[in-house]
Amino acid sequence: MNVRSQVSMVFHLDKCIGCHTCSIACKNIWTDRKGTEYMWWNNVETKPGTGFPTAWEDQEKYNGGWKVEDGTLALRSQSRTKSVVNMFHHPNLPTLDDYYHPWTYDYKNLFDAPEGSDQPIARPISMVTGEPVAIESGPNWDDDLGGSPVYAEHDRNLEGLSEEQRQQLFAVERLVFFYFPRICNHCLNPACVAACPSGALYKRGEDGIVLVDQTRCRAWRACIAACPYKKVYFNWSTGKSEKCILCFPRLETGQAPACFHSCVGRIRYLGVLLYDADRLEEAASRPDDELVEAQRSLILDPFDPQVIAAAAANGVHDSVIESAQRSPVYQFVKVWKVALPPHIEYRTMPMLFYVPPMAPVMANRGQGVVDSVSDDLFHDIEAARVPLQFLGNLFGAGHDAKVRYALRKQKAVRWHRRAETVGDVDRATADRMLREADCTAEEAEAIYRLTSLCTFEERFVIPPMHREEALQMLEEPMEHKQAAGFGFIKAPRRGV
């Protein structure tokens, strides 16, 4: 057993507002510079939709992530034998059209326009060239579109839906959308790291955060091609790749990452998971339908004395083990099994998990009027507007069993709380719902509390980072205290 600690995340999609506060919290701090205009380390997508960059889930086109070749894992983006030959050629990289052309407006004209015969305006202009541009795409172009024939219809996750199901998604009876916020998944098996010819990417030993070293990066951009989530971006100004850093300067000071802190829907959770790195390759090589379970099996019980001993032996700090024991992520992912990894079939073992969303009941149109299809107080998940297959494609490698389980449990918690707080549902019905959802009343209470009543401290259990120990490898912490901040800031330079 090779026990490691990983700062991991849960996004509760049922609660997501789609407000994008997270995106801007991140942008304000990290990607508001020249060269980063188009970068959205955190973005929020509307599903069904094609996302950002457009159609990133289309691995036929982008060849991101891993495949199993001759029983072993291999990057889809580069053949191991040909990687050197192909070093300068990346047919799989997204182009500017797949992102967007960043723009601003000629605001100054509103102040400076001389008196004329008509009202002056600020025209859209390119942030790159300063010339007028026509705005044809953006980082959130299909926001709230739902049934759009241009975008939603091309969502890869509609695969496997019947033609009728697809058609109905564009009719009022079944129409639906929900939000899908995304950051770097800080994967256990990160394709970006594996792909880098310069060794500039690494996964931090102490917390699993995946970083691009801004001094070692040589602009090969292999990481961008390899990441199936397209969460590494190329800074055209510095010539370095950049990506979500999980706000490590904030984590190191005991603060939640900016996008977590700012999540006004309170959908985000963060905490440590302990996992067994020895079994990683084997787990990541399993057949698609076993992957969710395989990943879950890597996650270790932080209360198990053997795990604790192995973790300690591996240098995991006491306080981090304690933190893992209080981790909300552990509850959602491992104990309750209601949070699932996105596109586990990419086999990067993402460490960001999603609680799938409930959705309104379907309707039908008879005699010219619309009625709900179910008379239940809380309709069954089969009657919800989001097809289970769609969610299965997103969160179950094409299989909907895990999604079904997670949704059933959420619904059962609601029946349970209804019985407790109103009384129009009798206890027996609520108990039956719980039983069918593999849930006890105690577990339902715990799920309800962490979902609804959670405080900031319960959502984000940040492990002590022990910076003094990390620094000690570089210099005496006392010296650091005395000299911190003195010196000249040197920006990264292209090619160096």
> According to CB under 8 A, which residues from 166 to 185 bind another protein?
170-172, 175-179
Q: Which is nearer to another protein, 54 or 451 (CB)?
A: 451
410 binds another protein (CB under 8 A): yes
Contacting residue, 91, 130, 160, 249, with another protein by CB under 8 A:
249
Of the residues 69, 79, 91, 107, which one makes contact with another protein according to CB under 8 A: 107
474 binds another protein (CB under 8 A): yes
In whole angstroms, how close is the CB of 281 to another protein at the nearest point?
A: 5
Q: How far is the CB of 36 from another protein (least distance, A)?
A: 11
CB of 92 to another protein, least distance (A): 18
The sign of the dihedral angle between the CA atoms of 59, 61, 63, 69 is positive
Distance CA 139, CA 154 (A): 17
> Are 436 and 412 within 8 A, CB to CB?
yes
- Helix/strand/coil for 167: helix
If one counts every other C-beta atom within 10 angstroms of the C-beta of residue 342, the result is 20
Query: Residues 81 to 100: which contact another protein by CB under 8 A?
Result: none
Give the type of residue at 473.
M
Report if residue 357 touches another protein, rule: CB under 8 A.
yes
366 touching another protein, by CB under 8 A: yes
Q: Does the protein bind another protein through residue 398 (CB under 8 A)?
A: no
Among residues 39 and 399, whose Cβ is nearest to another protein?
A: 39
Instruction: Confirm or reject binding of residue 115 to another protein (CB under 8 A).
Output: yes
CB 330 within 8 A of CB 273: yes
* Binding of residue 360 to another protein (CB under 8 A): yes
* Contacts of 423-427 spanning 24+ positions with Cβ under 8 A: 424/377, 425/377
Nearer to another protein, 99 or 330 (CB): 99
What is the C-alpha to C-alpha distance for residues 205 and 465, in angstroms, rounded to an integer? 12
Distance of CA 346 to the CA centre of its chain: 14
Report the C-alpha gap between 319 and 417 in whole angstroms. 35
Q: How far is the CB of 223 from another protein (least distance, A)?
A: 12
Chain centroid to CA 50: 15
Considering the complex, what minimum distance in angstroms separates the CB of residue 257 from another protein?
11
Among 48, 94, 190, 228, binds another protein (CB under 8 A): 190
C-alpha 278/C-alpha 3 separation (Å) is 8
Tokens 């005991």 correspond to 254
Q: Distance between CA 434 and CA 410 in Å, rounded?
A: 10
The set of residues, in sequence order, having a beta carbon less than 8 Å from that of 117 and lying 6+ positions away, is none
> b/e per residue, 384-396, with b = 16+ CB within 10 A?
bbbbbbbbbbbbb
466 binds another protein (CB under 8 A): no
**Residue 41 is a binding residue for another protein (CB under 8 A):** no
| List 69, 79, 91, 123, residue binding another protein (CB under 8 A) | 123
Nearest to 411 by CA among 375, 455, 376, 458: 376
- Of 292-300, 317-325, 332-340, 371-379, which segment contacts another protein by CB under 8 A? 371-379
Q: Could you say which DSSP state residue 157 is in?
A: G
Q: What are phi and psi of 318, to 5 degrees?
A: -40, -50
Residues 125-144 that bind another protein (CB under 8 A): 132, 135-136, 138-141, 143-144
In the bound complex, what is the minimum distance in angstroms from residue 184's beta carbon to another protein? 14
Contacts of 476 (CB under 8 A, 6+ apart): none
Contact string (CB under 8 A) for another protein, positions 48-87, x = contact: ----------------------------------------
In the complex, what is the shortest distance from the CB of residue 357 to another protein, in angstroms, rounded to a whole number? 7
Residue 305 binding another protein, by CB under 8 A: no
Give the one residue of 67, 86, 90, 214 binding another protein; rule: CB under 8 A: 214
Q: How far is CA 367 from CA 187, 339, 371, in A?
A: 52, 41, 10
CA distance 288 to 347: 9
| 117 binds another protein per the rule CB under 8 A | yes
Helix 427-436 and helix 401-421: axis angle, to 10°? 160
**Residue found under tokens 């990441």:** 227
CB 348 within 8 A of CB 65: yes
Among 91, 130, 254, 315, binds another protein (CB under 8 A): 315
Q: Rule CB under 8 A: which of 422-461 touch another protein?
A: 422-425, 447-448, 451-456
Least Cβ distance, residue 44 to another protein (angstroms): 9
Least Å distance, CB 253 to another protein, is 8
Segment interacting with another protein (CB under 8 A) among 85-93, 156-164, 246-254, 292-300: 246-254
Q: Judged by CB under 8 A, how many residues of this single chain contact another protein? A: 141
Contact between 120 and another protein per CB under 8 A: yes
Nearer to another protein, 428 or 474 (CB): 474
Instruction: Indicate which single residue of 6, 8, 10, 23 sits in contact with another protein (rule: CB under 8 A).
Output: 23
Distance CA 343, CA 354 (A): 11
